[in-house]
Structure 1
Amino acid sequence: MLKISLVQFTPEFGAPAKNLQHIAGLLNGVETDIILLPELCTTGYSFLNQAEALTASEGLDGESIAFFKQLANEHKAMVIAGFAERDGEKVYNSALIALPGGELKVYRKTHLFFREKVCFSEGNSGFFIVDHPLKDCKVGIMICNDWRYPEAARSLTLLGADIIACPSNLVSNVWGIGMAARALENKVYVAVANRCGTETRQMDDGSTQSLTFTGGSVLYNFTGEPIEQADKTEQHVITLEIDPLLTRDKFFNAYNDLLNDRRPKFYLG
């Protein structure tokens, strides 16, 4: 068995130190094996251009990364956290995976959403699996808008994921349809850590952009049903115990295996 904790909160735009302090407070006393935080949880979301995102970004020697490494060691947990990653003159919408013991991995968002296309470079990490060092569990990572592409979750499933962890800054109300489908069609748990709150920025032309994030952080069972879900506005940690091994038998009746029954030669794209 394994415990997973989904952290839903409202990051303050441009205040990474305050956001890290907020995260530490929410997780105080939490006993868990995986900590999943929202997309861009250290900086906030609503960047206006690439230069602004690059200024707010950090490399793997940054203060936020050190914080997440310490968090992983203190909780003896895998920590998955969205951040703006600097790599030379490029900036990526990334997820850090920090493991107890100090190992780090980074997933870079494959499918950018909305104004992210003018702020971030397209992710080039590809999809991969991370083995939990202390539990028999294989974790795949995708970020927010990746959910719209079934190929993302299917790729992670084919690589062996038991859980797909999805740091998110979701602003629609339709994602629940897709996320639940990703769990059902792959027979995997899908964990979504979404943020809440509203960010309003003044655009270069004097207009304003206001984004309200929909919260609702949730863990979907491999049947596609929500096990537990937060409301739209609460700042809250959901901790649940699951059995990752239940996802490995891909039969859903005596005759049908989700993966072995695939017929890729007939598929397009």
Structure 2
Amino acid sequence: MVKAAAVQMDIQLGQTHLNKERILAYAQNTPADLLVFPECANSGYCFNSLEDAMPHAEVVPGAFTDSLLSVARDMGRSLAVGILEKKGAALRNTAVLATPEGNLRVYRKSHLPYLGVDRFVTPGSELPIFQTAFGRVGMIICYECRFPEVARSMSLQGADLLIGLSNWPVGAMVIPTLLVAARAAENHVWIVSSNRVGLEQGSRFIGKSMIIDPDGQIIASLPEGNEETVSADLDLSISKAKHFVRKPKAYEIDLFMDRRPELYGTVTQEG
């Protein structure tokens, strides 16, 4: 069993020192094997230009990720944190996973809305999964929950758990109320989803962090508006089952083997 927790934070725009201090405090004081923080938790999200955002971005690896690795090692916890990353002249919307073994896994958001800092971000070009001590993990950042191909690609690679790091604002309620559970059920995979709260540049963020089991059932959740954490024990071995026999030779389904990839060519066409 893995105890996972979603940290629903109120993040302060541009207050990187304060935000990072609070992330590290949660990481030290929240009893869990895995802690999941929101998107852009180090910096905030609603920047109005690349020039405004870049001073608040991190080098990866760098001082902040070194701090995450130190806490992960000392506390025996894995930490998934959304950060702004600077890579040369490029800005990335990035999720890092720091593990107690000293590994730093990095995913860069590949599907970008025309919204907030994502207007100035260079997209990632891979959908990787990462081996950890407790299982195979994929990371999905915010808007990407609207694309079933992201969760499916990671699940086909053997993900036991999908980590969601988000900044869902007012207007995106369909994601926590419908789409996250759909992604879990259609792939029969656990999802731990952390979303922020608070007000930033006139945008209010809705919270609704949650943990969803492979049947698409919400087993733990937080309401709108409050800064707090939610946790649950996850049996990740359940995610490995994709073939279900409801009645032998009469009612059987296999979520992956029953696919017809030869029919899906239009999904990968541009435009």
| The two structures share one fold, judged by TM-score above 0.5 | yes
Corresponding residue number in structure 1 for 2:255: 258
8 Å Cα contact 1:51/1:119 also seen in 2:
no
Counterpart Cα distance in 1 of 2:227 and 2:118: 29
8 Å Cα contact 2:28/2:75 also seen in 1:
no
**Aligned-partner residue type, residue 57 of structure 2:** S
Of 246-255 and 215-224, deviating more is: 246-255
Corresponding residue number in structure 1 for 2:128: 128
**Aligned-partner residue type, residue 123 of structure 1:** G
The normalised TM-score by structure 1 is 0.91
Question: What is the deviation of 1:28?
Answer: 4.1
Corresponding residue number in structure 2 for 1:139: 137
Corresponding residue number in structure 2 for 1:37: 37
Corresponding residue number in structure 2 for 1:77: 77
Question: What is the deviation of 1:5?
Answer: 1.1
Please give the per-residue CA displacement for 1:125-165, whole angstroms capped at 9, x wherever unaligned.
Answer: x11111212x2x11111100010000000001001011100
Counterpart Cα distance in 2 of 1:50 and 1:211: 19
Corresponding residue number in structure 2 for 1:185: 186
The 3 A distance-change label for structure 1 pair 101 and 27 is closer
Corresponding residue number in structure 1 for 2:158: 160
Counterpart Cα distance in 2 of 1:57 and 1:131: 26
Q: Identity percentage over the alignment?
A: 30
CA RMSD of aligned residues (A): 1.4
Counterpart Cα distance in 2 of 1:3 and 1:168: 20
8 Å Cα contact 1:36/1:165 also seen in 2:
yes
Corresponding residue number in structure 2 for 1:9: 9
What number of residue pairs does the alignment pair up? 257
Counterpart Cα distance in 1 of 2:47 and 2:132: 33
Counterpart Cα distance in 2 of 1:245 and 1:227: 17
The 3 A distance-change label for structure 1 pair 71 and 175 is same
Structure 1: gaps (5+ residues): 201-209
Counterpart Cα distance in 2 of 1:118 and 1:141: 21
8 Å Cα contact 1:42/1:64 also seen in 2:
no
**Aligned-partner residue type, residue 127 of structure 2:** F
Question: What is the deviation of 1:117?
Answer: 4.3
Please give the per-residue CA displacement for 1:81-106, whole angstroms capped at 9, x wherever unaligned.
Answer: 00011111101000011111322121
**Aligned-partner residue type, residue 188 of structure 1:** V
Counterpart Cα distance in 2 of 1:26 and 1:118: 30
